[in-house]
Amino acid sequence: MQRILYTGMVAFGLAGAGADAADLTLTLDDLTRLGSGPMIAQEIAGLPADPALPVVELADESNAARQLRGLVARGVSQGFDRILYDNRDRDHSTLPSSRFPNLTFLRYATDLVAGSVDYGLAGPVLIPALVFGNSSTAMTSGLHARSLVRHAMTAPGGAARAYRDYVSNSLYMYPEHRDHDAVDLYPANWPYTTISQGSSGSDHPFMDAIAMTLAAFPADTRAALEENGLVAPTVQMIMRRNLNGVRTQASYLSAIAHPTVFSSDMLRPERMIGQAAAMRPDDIPPVVRLKIVEEDFAQGAGLAGLDEHLFTTPSAIARIWRSFAWERQMVVSAASTVDPNGHELRFDWVLLRGDPARVRIEPLGHDKKMARITVNWHNTFVLPSRNPADDQGLETSRVDIGVFAWNGRSESAPAIISISFPTHQIRTYEAPPGQTARLVSVDYDAKGREVYYDPRLHWSAPWVDRFNYALDGTLEGWTRTTGGEQEEFDAAGQPADGTSADYHIVSAPGEAPSLGLMRQGQEN
């Protein structure tokens, strides 16, 4: 059973300005599990709004607060009726309960708290209701220290859970905490979560702006969004469409609107509220759904034979370049995208990050529902700075391609294809006259150079390989230099002296993984 606890006394008239939001406690009895899937809180939803309470605390005289109050007073918007707020850091960085008196705060019973169901990354519980929340936490120690979103991107099943929440009307915000300072350490970009620049508390402006955007939707529009699982994609579009510097459709279809991480100075909450309030059910954009038709990213590539598929979900696809190749290709379809109102869709395929000279996007067919994407190897590069006063931009080793659907009324949120490069390796490519560029050498010794690499995705090895080619460009093998000693290997990576060897990952406790070479007759 749901237990509803009111944390503040509800008075009448203006005295309601001091009222706190209501609490709704989730208990173990509220949860069911279907097969091996998540626990589901099927009957949990936000509480009905009390018209005697203000939509925003009366002490707030900001333009956004006044705007939202006016919309609710005129009956344009329905405020926080049946909206749930899920704080997942045990009130470390939470909305004040007095901020939005009609907002319902989700609480967790003691037994669920003991199992940490309430803490950290969203996903242990699926709540099929309108929910927004945050966790201003990160994995701050150990070899795998990282933000919660990078954890989700690199842990098995993390991307699938993020997509599941995205199309279940759940919006969550997390800080980047050291994953996006001088270097962007994220191996992918996606629309599933909102990542704030900074650490604890940096998510507050986003919670506030997104809360008021949700409260601004007209009742019929919000009902249609919830029914179609389009709340989160639509709010993502609204936030990005109204960022500072995003003034036109062309600027929305550009890198400025779709960074990995968002700074609070980019937000324009008044414009977000305005667009939400003006949206009619017929304006709702679709969620873009992608499918790989063909690709040359493989399940086993590079010396270690590791998978190049980081994740494949309908609105975000991520690949890791492990192959020796100079050029990779994939064909992607967005044909599964359906407009909720049956409108005809136009698709835009946009390079959001990467060298335009090394990425070619070829839309296919008159409707552009498919595209062939060709990418050449990228070394680490620096993004243009948004602030001219900055000394330097952000370093990155990733290409992003955004896919957008336009229904004649609204742009969709992006679906994003990401390709990350192992630039902790030093690779040299050269193009002989009349031939395609080919790999000349690889310095694998990231540990020796004291260069960071993600231990969940990559490895280091204490050698440099220089590649040997026949006159026709066929790879013959390579010469390996390890600590001043040289050894020859054939094109399959086996010692040229006729012995056999296997590559394997070595992971010492507390150390990032290395690649080892076990020769025939050696003990593991």
Q: What is residue 516's three-state secondary structure?
A: strand
Q: What is the pLDDT of residue 158?
A: 97
Q: Across the strands, what pairs with 438?
A: 430
> What is the rounded distance in angstroms from the CA atom of residue 3 to the CA atom of residue 206?
29
Residue 294: name the closest of 190, 375, 372, 367 by CA: 372
Backbone angles phi, psi at 160, to 5 degrees: -65, -40
> What is the rounded distance in angstroms from the CA atom of residue 450 to the CA atom of residue 161?
34
Two tokens, residue 141: 């120690």
pTM for this prediction: 0.94
Residue 131: name the closest of 85, 87, 81 by CA: 85
> What is the rounded distance in angstroms from the CA atom of residue 463 to the CA atom of residue 391?
35
Q: What is the pLDDT of residue 393?
A: 84
Angle at CA 90, nearest 5°, toward 85 and 95? 40
In the block, tokens 């209501």 appear at: 22
Q: Give a three-class secondary structure readout of 341-408.
A: CCCCCEEEEEEEECCCCCEEEEEECCCCCEEEEEEECCCCEECCCCCCCCCCCCEECEEEEEEEEECC
* Cβ atoms within 10 Å of 66's Cβ, excluding its own: 13
DSSP state of 322: -
Two tokens, residue 523: 């003990």
**Amino acid, single-letter form, for residue 48:** P
Long-range contact list for 110-113, CB < 8 A, 24+ apart? 111/27, 111/28, 112/26, 112/27, 112/28
Which DSSP helix (H) or strand (E) runs through 29?
none
Q: What is the pLDDT of residue 17?
A: 45
**Amino acid, single-letter form, for residue 160:** A
Two tokens, residue 313: 């979900």
**Amino acid, single-letter form, for residue 467:** F
Q: What is the pLDDT of residue 392?
A: 61
pLDDT, block means (10 residues), the chain with 524 residues: 35 46 94 87 94 96 98 97 98 96 97 96 94 97 96 97 98 97 97 97 97 98 98 98 96 97 97 98 98 98 96 98 98 98 97 98 95 98 71 87 97 98 98 91 98 98 96 93 94 89 90 90 52
> What is the rounded distance in angstroms from the CA atom of residue 413 to the CA atom of residue 289?
11
> What is the rounded distance in angstroms from the CA atom of residue 355 to the CA atom of residue 375?
9
For each of the domains in the chain, give its residue range(s) and CATH number, in order of start: 3-283 (no CATH), 291-420 (2.60.40), 426-519 (no CATH)
Q: What is the pLDDT of residue 18?
A: 58
Q: What is the pLDDT of residue 509?
A: 87
Q: What is the pLDDT of residue 36?
A: 79
Residue 228: name the closest of 314, 294, 130 by CA: 130
Q: What is the pLDDT of residue 521?
A: 56
Q: What is the pLDDT of residue 16?
A: 43
In the block, tokens 């993984």 appear at: 513
> What is the rounded distance in angstroms from the CA atom of residue 143 to the CA atom of residue 145?
6
> What is the rounded distance in angstroms from the CA atom of residue 189 to the CA atom of residue 180?
12
Residue 373: name the closest of 388, 358, 361, 364 by CA: 361
Q: What is the pLDDT of residue 6?
A: 33
